[in-house]
């Protein structure tokens, strides 16, 4: 949409729906923010299913003696580094939010880009890990670990990629001058999704990598 | 954009038009394609769902023809499997849930005094996903064979790879991918309803002043929100086992098919409450109007609905009593199942108490609502019988179960839906459906329904198994099966009468008065049909059954006294042409359709392993989402 | 997304007896306005340090070769839960935002723990014994 210097009102925020009740909701929280929290709650049930599946099938390969085992494959130091990246991405995300809330667009874009870069490093690490495991003989069909590990972490990784695309699109729009300080909520909502994805990884990292194998 | 209005151009900067100009019209045939108006969307949900009801009904008639006699030859075993699978899948996902979405869509905003839902474009997206998802699943009939593993799709029947599997063709792939797609639409609508009900109520409408219909739809939305993910997970696992040789349900490698059943029923049990609560919602609105009495025990009914919502998460393994999970598990689930009968029973008593002592008018909507109470109760009772583990061990997988769930879902939900259609038809279309035809419709359906499904209790007790394409001579099942088939065709006659009624009303029906039933809730406070913006002025709510309280008060002896008509109770003229100043309704848009279109394309990509097609679908999806999020909800048209 | 958006945090009191919130503050956020109640960047960094330290402890604990694997597992999960809670409370602003968010999210988490916990129980040898 055209952005003119003369206009006192940004077109994007002009007359939102329900103008006669402008921005007044029964609960006092915005519709968009309520929606993302509700959606995130739903996603807990989704990841929970795959985590439960992982736990259920954990250790079953021992009796079948098939394929490489977790202890042979998992590289804790390496994954610790990628996990650290994801944690740092949450920090940079919230700093990006703080920046746009203060109207500091330059810092906002820097922190946002940092988040994207941290996220991409995490994904890079995942890709490396997957290819390594594949090389060492772990396929989806090899054993229960192959099945549950790749699908659980793969779905998580897909969520991270979606988040990266989302954040990149915000970054691009910011460069185009479309993300003013009053659009900070859009950033907050993307941030909530991003933190959720990070939080899921906190659980996965502990459950898959750190819990001792029997 | 002309350059004449210089001053306005300063205040309202020119909108840069993209490739496709944003549609503006809210009238005419094309406007239905781009609408974001919850009322239009509701009508589309309803019409499409009724179409699928007919398709599912024809599938049922074929099943009944096949089973009318022993050793039937109408359908081969393979075809029979397709028909009963698609019948179940259609009725649950393409009829039941969408009709709830239809009623919820039309009336949730109106009943809370809102102008639309919180996310109008997301609303439309939900509809397109439903339509395209349904078409996707049905396209399987001509693309290698329809799903044939049952509507529940148990592993390992459905999860073994096609090349070495138990089921021929890609039916199971269409089923898994199609249901994932439909699930996305359902969750989108659930989020929409939750935010709308919580955030957009009229001034003065506290939660405990909301109509019971709204409460029940809110509970349904939360159930949907939390129940679809486990299903999606299970379906992904089935698809992966089939196509990528994973071992989720491969016992030879250490997998466990019972995991599928657990995940499916964690979805499946809340799903039956997702199906029935809207029916209960409709009935809770009809009974008070046609008894001229408020709903008995409003708070209790609301809390029972919430209780059912919570307890429904603790009963799922009662679908698995015969799978060898052991006495500890079965006892625990048996107890929880018995427990959930309590809030259900409470509601039934409240409905009865509503009618008792009321000034009852036995019009068609009321007949259907009363039919609901009777038949749903019977279905509930057979459900309680199922909760007893030793009894269920015999009943499971027999026609006794078929009788049970058809009593609650057809005798219950479908009857409530028909009641709702007759009740709200004048509001939606401005005309009353013919009362004589309506009563004929009702009686044919009652007789047909009970003739079809009551005998199935006995057939189940005598051991006739479900999901089996035929039965041999000499079992003694022939007579009752024939009765059931005759009953099915009487149901069909009833449905035909309904269709005749709709057509007759469209051609020669008389205009309905604005408040034909002397009703109680806010949707009747506006014209029939309502204008695009619903209410010229958002009503201020001071009581439950707000509309009723604007029409009536009570004298010292508690008798109803009609108030003189005032501005507060006046229903505005039907065709109020001028949009009151300051109301800006959300603008129409193409993008919900474009984004939705990406999904079946991705779906075909997955089913046929055409990765380039999948990529195209993803591109369309992202392109559409980008365009959608770049346009404002309401376009300035100055 | 711009649909139905409430630009700015409407700092308001939700008065449930009238069902309608009374908007106390305006919607537009002026540049430079402090966000009432939100943590400062310094606090965000502090939380990040805590997260890293706890992760470090977790990794160390996982390498411990004691005989008490159950204890180790419990400790690891507690630490994961702590990190989970910290990110939710501080980065997702659950601490300072309206309680509704916390309620709906916690409901989802608890429901997931409940149903999937029971699934694992149903498969456990203790329950399968007949």
| Residue in chain C lying closest to A96 (CA) | C41
**The pLDDT value given to residue B396:** 96
Q: Is the pLDDT of residue B16 over 60?
A: no
B:122-161 residues touching chain C, CB 8 A cutoff: 122
Residue B612 maps to a domain: yes
Q: Which of B120, B329, B633 sits opposite C122 (nearest CB)?
A: B329
Please judge whether B119 and A57 are an interchain contact, meaning their C-beta atoms are less than 8 angstroms apart.
Answer: no
The predicted-structure confidence for B94-146, as pLDDT tens digits, reads as follows 999 999 999 999 999 999 999 999 999 999 999 999 999 999 999 999 998 99
Task: Residue C83: list chain A partners with CB under 8 A.
Answer: 199, 202
Structural domain boundaries enclosing B479: 34-576+607-630
Please judge whether B259 and C119 are an interchain contact, meaning their C-beta atoms are less than 8 angstroms apart.
Answer: yes
Please judge whether B541 and C19 are an interchain contact, meaning their C-beta atoms are less than 8 angstroms apart.
Answer: yes
Q: Is the pLDDT of residue C120 over 50?
A: yes
Q: What is the C-alpha separation between B423 and B443, in angstroms, rounded?
A: 17
Domain positions in chain A are: 48-58+66-210
Asked if B494 contacts B441 with a C-beta cutoff of 8 angstroms, the reply is: yes
**The pLDDT value given to residue B571:** 78
Please judge whether A101 and C38 are an interchain contact, meaning their C-beta atoms are less than 8 angstroms apart.
Answer: yes
The beta-carbon contacts of C70-75 under 8 Å, at least 24 apart in sequence, are C72/A211, C72/A212, C73/A211, C73/A212
Angstrom CA distances, B28 to B23, B376, B585, stand at 12, 41, 17
Q: Is B254 an interface residue toward C (CB < 8 Å)?
A: no
Q: How many CB atoms lie within 10 A of CB B574?
A: 14
Q: What is the C-alpha separation between A185 and A100, in angstroms, rounded?
A: 9
Mean pLDDT of all residues in B593-605: 97
**The pLDDT value given to residue B141:** 95
Q: What is the C-alpha separation between B534 and B170, in angstroms, rounded?
A: 46
Asked if B254 contacts A60 with a C-beta cutoff of 8 angstroms, the reply is: yes
**The pLDDT value given to residue B15:** 52
Q: Is the pLDDT of residue B355 over 80?
A: yes
Percent of chain B predicted with pLDDT > 70? 95
**The pLDDT value given to residue A4:** 33
Asked if A70 contacts A213 with a C-beta cutoff of 8 angstroms, the reply is: yes
Instruction: Using DSSP, state whether B552 is helix, strand or coil.
Output: strand
Please judge whether A45 and B11 are an interchain contact, meaning their C-beta atoms are less than 8 angstroms apart.
Answer: no
Mean pLDDT of all residues in B162-180: 91
Name the average pLDDT for chain B. 92
The predicted-structure confidence for C55-73, as pLDDT tens digits, reads as follows 999 999 998 877 788 889 9
Per the structure, the count of domains in chain B is 1
Q: Is the pLDDT of residue A142 over 60?
A: yes
Q: Which of B194, B200, B633 sits opposite A38 (nearest CB)?
A: B194
Enter the tokens of residue B312. 């429904």
| Residue in chain B lying closest to C22 (CA) | B203
Q: Is the pLDDT of residue B81 over 80?
A: yes
Q: Is the pLDDT of residue B524 over 90?
A: yes
Angstrom CA distances, A6 to A3, A10, B345, B400, B630, stand at 9, 10, 65, 74, 21
Closest-CA residue to A19 (of B586, B434, C50): B586
Burial class (CB in 10 A: 0-12, 13-18, 19+), B453: buried
Closest-CA residue to B230 (of C45, C32, C79, A51): A51
Beta strands C12-13; B560-562: pairing state:
unpaired
**The pLDDT value given to residue B7:** 54
Task: Residue C108: list chain B partners with CB under 8 A.
Answer: 226
Instruction: Using DSSP, state whether B465 is helix, strand or coil.
Output: strand
**The pLDDT value given to residue B10:** 55
Closest-CA residue to B446 (of B370, B504, B363, B377): B370
Task: Residue A206: list chain C partners with CB under 8 A.
Answer: 58, 76-77, 79-80
* Least trusted range by pLDDT, from A91-100, B543-552, C26-35, C90-99: C26-35
The predicted-structure confidence for B535-550, as pLDDT tens digits, reads as follows 888 889 999 999 999 9
Domain positions in chain C are: 99-130
Q: Is the pLDDT of residue A22 over 50?
A: no
C130 confidence band (pLDDT: 50, 70, 90): low
Q: How many CB atoms lie within 10 A of CB B29?
A: 7
Q: What is the C-alpha separation between C43 and C49, in angstroms, rounded?
A: 10
The predicted-structure confidence for B376-417, as pLDDT tens digits, reads as follows 999 999 999 999 999 999 999 999 999 999 999 999 999 999
The predicted-structure confidence for B260-311, as pLDDT tens digits, reads as follows 999 999 999 999 999 999 999 999 999 999 999 999 999 999 999 999 999 9
**The pLDDT value given to residue B510:** 85
Alpha-carbon dihedral of residues A206, A208, A210, A212, nearest 10 degrees?
130
Question: Between helices B415-429 and B478-508, what is the axis angle to 10°?
Answer: 10
C:94-123 residues touching chain A, CB 8 A cutoff: 97-98, 100-101, 104-105, 107-109, 111-113, 115-116, 119-120, 123
Ramachandran region of residue B472, left (φ > 0), alpha (ψ -120 to 50) or beta? beta
Question: Between helices B212-244 and B171-199, what is the axis angle to 10°?
Answer: 150
Q: What is the C-alpha separation between B48 and B129, in angstroms, rounded?
A: 12
**The pLDDT value given to residue B632:** 84
Residue B143 maps to a domain: yes
Q: Is the pLDDT of residue B318 over 90?
A: yes
**The pLDDT value given to residue B56:** 98
B574 confidence band (pLDDT: 50, 70, 90): low
Task: Residue C72: list chain A partners with CB under 8 A.
Answer: 211-212
Q: What is the C-alpha separation between B369 and B570, in angstroms, rounded?
A: 29
**The pLDDT value given to residue A8:** 36
Task: Residue B585: list chain A partners with CB under 8 A.
Answer: 17
Q: What is the C-alpha separation between C33 and A103, in angstroms, rounded?
A: 9
The predicted-structure confidence for A74-117, as pLDDT tens digits, reads as follows 999 999 999 999 999 999 999 999 999 999 999 999 999 999 99
Please judge whether A6 and B240 are an interchain contact, meaning their C-beta atoms are less than 8 angstroms apart.
Answer: no
Residue B17 maps to a domain: no
Residue B424 maps to a domain: yes
Name the average pLDDT for chain C. 75
Q: Is the pLDDT of residue B341 over 80?
A: yes
Percent of chain C predicted with pLDDT > 70? 70
Asked if C24 contacts C43 with a C-beta cutoff of 8 angstroms, the reply is: no
Q: Is the pLDDT of residue A63 over 80?
A: no
Q: What is the C-alpha separation between A153 and B341, in angstroms, rounded?
A: 40
**The pLDDT value given to residue C17:** 36
Enter the tokens of residue B36. 């974001």
Q: Which of A18, A24, A206 sits opposite C58 (nearest CB)?
A: A206
Q: Is the pLDDT of residue C15 over 80?
A: no
Distance from CA of C17 to the nearest CA of A (A): 11
Q: Which residues, including other chains, have CB under 8 Å from residue B297's CB and lie 6 or more apart?
A: B350, B353
**The pLDDT value given to residue A67:** 85
**The pLDDT value given to residue B13:** 52
Please judge whether B201 and A16 are an interchain contact, meaning their C-beta atoms are less than 8 angstroms apart.
Answer: no
Q: Which of A41, A206, A214 sits opposite C77 (nearest CB)?
A: A206
Q: Which of B207, B258, B633 sits opposite C3 (nearest CB)?
A: B633
Range list of H helices, B169-256: 171-199, 212-244
Please judge whether C5 and A186 are an interchain contact, meaning their C-beta atoms are less than 8 angstroms apart.
Answer: yes
Percent of chain A predicted with pLDDT > 70? 89
Please judge whether A15 and B636 are an interchain contact, meaning their C-beta atoms are less than 8 angstroms apart.
Answer: yes
Beta bridge partners of B552: B562
Mean pLDDT of all residues in B501-522: 92
Across the A/B interface, how many CB contacts are shorter than 8 Å? 147
Asked if B229 contacts A43 with a C-beta cutoff of 8 angstroms, the reply is: yes
Phi, psi of B465 (to 5 degrees): -80, 150
Beta bridge partners of B560: B554
Please judge whether A42 and B253 are an interchain contact, meaning their C-beta atoms are less than 8 angstroms apart.
Answer: no
CATH code of A48-58+66-210, in short, is: 1.20.120.80
DSSP string computed for B347-380: HHHHHHHHHTTS-----HHHHHHHHHHHHHHHHH
Please judge whether B262 and C122 are an interchain contact, meaning their C-beta atoms are less than 8 angstroms apart.
Answer: yes
Distance from CA of B313 to the nearest CA of C (A): 7
B577 confidence band (pLDDT: 50, 70, 90): low
Choice between C125 and A166, residue whose per-residue pLDDT is larger: A166
Asked if B616 contacts B601 with a C-beta cutoff of 8 angstroms, the reply is: yes
Closest-CA residue to B237 (of B142, B299, B137, B153): B153
The predicted-structure confidence for B558-570, as pLDDT tens digits, reads as follows 788 888 888 777 7
**The pLDDT value given to residue B338:** 96
The predicted-structure confidence for A24-57, as pLDDT tens digits, reads as follows 788 888 899 999 999 999 999 999 999 999 999 9
């Amino acid at each position: 949409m055209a952005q003119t210097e003369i206009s006192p009102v940004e077109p994007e925020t002009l007359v939102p729906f329900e103008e006669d009740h402008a921005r007044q909701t029964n609960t006092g929280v915005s519709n968009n923010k309520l929606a993302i929290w509700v959606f995130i709650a739903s996603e807990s049930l989704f990841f929970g299913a795959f985590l439960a599946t992982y736990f259920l099938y954990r250790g079953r390969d021992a009796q079948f003696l098939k394929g490489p085992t977790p202890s042979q494959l998992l590289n804790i130091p390496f994954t610790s580094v990628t996990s650290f990246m994801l944690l740092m991405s949450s920090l940079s995300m919230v700093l990006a939010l703080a920046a746009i809330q203060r109207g500091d667009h330059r810092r906002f874009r820097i922190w946002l880009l940092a988040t994207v870069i941290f996220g991409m490093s995490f994904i890079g690490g995942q890709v490396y890990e997957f290819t390594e495991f594949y090389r060492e003989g772990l396929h989806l069909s090899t054993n229960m670990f192959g099945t549950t590990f790749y699908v659980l972490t793969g779905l998580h990784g897909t969520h991270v990629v979606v988040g990266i695309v989302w954040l990149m699109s915000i970054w691009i729009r910011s460069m185009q001058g479309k993300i003013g300080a009053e659009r900070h909520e859009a950033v907050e909502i993307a941030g909530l999704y991003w933190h959720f994805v990070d939080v899921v990884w906190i659980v996965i990292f502990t459950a898959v990598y750190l819990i001792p194998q029997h | 954009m002309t350059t004449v209005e210089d001053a306005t151009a300063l205040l309202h900067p020119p909108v840069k038009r993209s490739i496709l100009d944003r549609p503006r019209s809210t009238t005419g045939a094309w406007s239905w394609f781009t609408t974001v108006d919850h009322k239009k969307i509701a009508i589309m949900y309803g019409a499409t769902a009724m179409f699928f009801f007919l398709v599912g009904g024809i599938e049922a008639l074929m099943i009944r023809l096949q089973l009318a006699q022993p050793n039937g030859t109408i359908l081969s075993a393979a075809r029979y499997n397709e028909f009963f699978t698609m019948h179940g899948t259609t009725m649950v996902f393409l009829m039941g849930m969408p009709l709830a979405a239809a009623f919820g869509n039309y009336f949730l905003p109106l009943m809370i005094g809102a102008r639309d839902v919180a996310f109008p474009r997301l609303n439309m997206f939900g509809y397109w996903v439903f339509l395209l998802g349904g078409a996707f699943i049905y396209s399987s009939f001509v693309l290698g064979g329809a799903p044939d593993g049952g509507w529940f799709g148990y592993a390992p029947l459905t999860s073994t790879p096609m090349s070495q599997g138990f089921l021929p063709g890609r039916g199971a792939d269409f089923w898994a991918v199609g249901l994932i797609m439909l699930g996305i639409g359902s969750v989108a609508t659930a989020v929409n309803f939750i935010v709308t009900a919580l955030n957009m109520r009229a001034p003065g409408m506290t939660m405990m002043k909301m109509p019971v219909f709204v409460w029940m739809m809110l509970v349904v939305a939360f159930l949907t929100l939390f129940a679809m993910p486990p299903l999606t997970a299970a379906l992904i696992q089935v698809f992966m086992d089939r196509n990528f040789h994973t071992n989720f349900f491969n016992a030879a490698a250490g997998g466990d098919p019972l995991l599928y059943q657990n995940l499916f029923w964690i979805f499946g049990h809340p799903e039956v409450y997702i199906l029935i609560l809207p029916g209960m919602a409709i009935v809770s609105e009809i009974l008070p109007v046609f008894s001229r009495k408020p709903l008995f025990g409003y708070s209790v009914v609301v809390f029972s609905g919430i209780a059912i919502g919570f307890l429904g998460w603790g009963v799922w393994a009662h679908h698995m009593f015969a799978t060898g999970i052991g006495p500890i598990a079965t006892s625990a689930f048996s107890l929880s199942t018995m427990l959930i009968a309590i809030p259900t029973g409470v509601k039934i008593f409240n409905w009865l108490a509503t009618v008792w002592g009321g000034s009852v008018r036995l019009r068609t909507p009321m007949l259907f609502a009363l039919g609901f109470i009777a038949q749903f109760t019977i279905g509930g009772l057979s459900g309680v019988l199922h909760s007893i583990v030793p009894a269920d061990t015999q009943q499971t997988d027999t026609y006794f179960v078929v009788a049970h769930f058809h009593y609650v879902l057809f005798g219950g939900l479908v009857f409530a839906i028909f009641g709702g259609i007759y009740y709200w038809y004048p509001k939606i279309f401005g005309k009353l459906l013919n009362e004589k035809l309506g009563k004929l419709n009702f009686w044919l359906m009652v007789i047909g329904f009970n003739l079809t499904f009551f005998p199935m209790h006995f057939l189940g007790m005598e051991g006739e198994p479900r999901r089996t394409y035929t039965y041999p001579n000499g079992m003694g099942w022939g007579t009752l099966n024939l009765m059931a088939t005759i009953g099915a065709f009487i149901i069909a006659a009833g449905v035909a009468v309904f269709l005749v009624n709709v057509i007759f009303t469209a051609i020669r029906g008389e205009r309905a008065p604005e408040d034909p039933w002397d009703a109680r809730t806010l949707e009747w406070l506006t014209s029939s049909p309502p204008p695009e913006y619903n209410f010229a002025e958002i009503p201020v709510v001071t009581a439950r059954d707000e509309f009723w309280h604007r029409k009536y008060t009570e004298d010292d002896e508690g008798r109803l006294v009609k108030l003189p008509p005032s501005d507060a109770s006046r229903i505005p003229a039907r065709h109020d042409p001028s949009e009151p100043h300051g109301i800006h309704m959300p603008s129409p848009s193409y993008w919900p359709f474009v984004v939705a279109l990406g999904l079946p394309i991705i779906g075909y990509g997955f089913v046929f392993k055409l990765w380039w097609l999948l990529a195209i679908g993803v591109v369309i999806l992202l392109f559409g989402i980008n365009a959608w999020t770049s346009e404002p909800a309401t376009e300035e048209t100055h | 997304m711009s649909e139905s958006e409430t630009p700015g945090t409407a700092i308001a009191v939700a008065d449930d007896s009238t069902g309608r919130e009374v908007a106390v503050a305006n919607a537009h956020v002026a540049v430079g306005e402090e966000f009432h109640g939100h943590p400062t960047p310094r606090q965000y960094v502090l939380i990040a340090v805590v997260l890293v330290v706890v992760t470090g402890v977790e990794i160390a604990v996982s390498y411990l070769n004691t005989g008490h694997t159950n204890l180790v597992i419990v400790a690891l999960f507690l630490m994961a839960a702590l990190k989970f809670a910290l990110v939710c409370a501080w980065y997702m602003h659950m601490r300072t935002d309206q309680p509704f968010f916390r309620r709906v999210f916690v409901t989802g988490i608890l429901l997931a723990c409940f149903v999937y916990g029971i699934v694992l129980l149903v498969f456990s040898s203790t329950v399968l014994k007949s």
